[in-house]
Amino acid sequence: MARFPQHFLWGGAIAANQAEGAWNVDGKGPSIADVVRGGIASGQHDAVIDPNHYYPSHEAVDFYHRYKEDVALFAEMGFQCFRTSIAWSRIFPRGDEQAPNEAGLAFYDRLFDELLKYGIEPVITLSHYETPLALYQEYGGWTNRALITHFTRYCETVFRRYRGKVKYWMTFNELNNMNRMPFATGAVDADASLQEIYQANHHQFVANALANKLCHEIIPEAQIGCMLSLSTVYPATCHPDDIFETQQLRRRSLFYSDVMMNGEYPAWSARLFRDNNITLAMEPDDLELIARYPSDYLGFSYYRSVVHKAGAQMQIDTGGAKGEDNPWLKKTAWGWPVDPKGLRTVCNELADRYRKPLFIVENGYGGVDEVAPDGTIDDVERIEYARQHILEMAEAIADGCDIIGYTWWGPIDIISAGTGEMKKRYGFIYVDKDNDGKGTLARSRKRSFDWYKQVIASNGEVV
């Protein structure tokens, strides 16, 4: 019996703000990512763009101008799908215009055509930490209900434009990061109250439902999912307090998929709101919309697991929560525990809970790559990380999990959402650029490039 279904989708994933650059080219407006000098995850940003400072997103790895070269490399690896985002402010530079920017639409036509030329399915995220800056500065981000109208106008525009080119969509990237990275996820200040965060969430849930409705009406054959960060959490001991607090932490993440996949607020959220004095402002038909238009599949990121001890203060970064050390696991150079079995655990957890297809749209190894004198990059740790996780994904499929596909995070080196660095590299393709923005941007293949090519060619049989 084959490990993976015949039509399993193998590929890679990036985000526009971490790869495209060209931040003000062809009519693009600034996004929230464009005022960040470090990683967007921190929530620290400038009020205005200072020409004397370095902003990683402004050039990134110049995918905007080099996409043909990069797509050809993805095709050489055998990609069957490629996940990226549409930069909302390329289409609507402020976010609130009535008419879109044609030059922005034309860029994604060219990109999608290039992908389809090689038989690569675009997998498109509509909002990946790229809210137009004006919607933050003048509206207050997703705390303002007006963003539902602006977002759905944007969604309708791109659904109609790319209806013959894109079959797989996702609405918001890692929406559950609103409770730890509100600026990136919802254009909400980092010190926002829980009232503001959950009100913004409610607006995003309504926008998610309306986007699902529009997508099914405009592209009946399409699939549109939600996307969450779902690296998992274990209790530090069998003490009941450790177990219960760990369950509560997990619930706080799965709250988001419960609403978008099941179409209703979970029963326990009433106590969450009551205990934190949260009162959501709703329109009369909001809950009906959420119920009628749930997500078709659950896309998620998985990088690691974390251990929680009752009463401990949890820290957060782009890989998820950080807690106690797990003595059974090795760590990456950035201190992230490597837990392939955790991926199988999460797949089974989500399959049991939602009984809908799953799409692993981010999994990857961030490491420090050394370029040898002959130009080779022997990234054996990346290969081993991917091999172990792919084997556990195969076990999850054998367990009965319906998994659509697997897109490795950062198949080409991109800037880090956590720190804005280039030093933390995920790619099978090396990009000559350093943390200060210096370098030729030349692309070269790492050892993992040929390894992943072999994995795809064998549909996961040779790892």
Residues with catalytic annotation? 174, 362
Residue at token pair 């203060």 = 313
Q: With contact defined as beta carbons under 8 Å apart, do 417 and 35 qualify?
A: no
Nearest Cα neighbor of 207 from 153, 257, 136 is: 153
Tell me the residue length of the chain: 463
Residue 370, judged by CB atoms within 10 A of its CB (0-12, 13-18, 19+), counts as exposed
Contacts of 189 (CB under 8 A, 6+ apart): 43, 182, 183
Q: With contact defined as beta carbons under 8 Å apart, do 359 and 297 qualify?
A: yes
Contacts of 313 (CB under 8 A, 6+ apart): none
Nearest Cα neighbor of 170 from 257, 254, 243 is: 257
Q: With contact defined as beta carbons under 8 Å apart, do 53 and 37 qualify?
A: yes
CA–CA dist 260, 292 (Å, integer): 10
CA–CA dist 5, 348 (Å, integer): 17
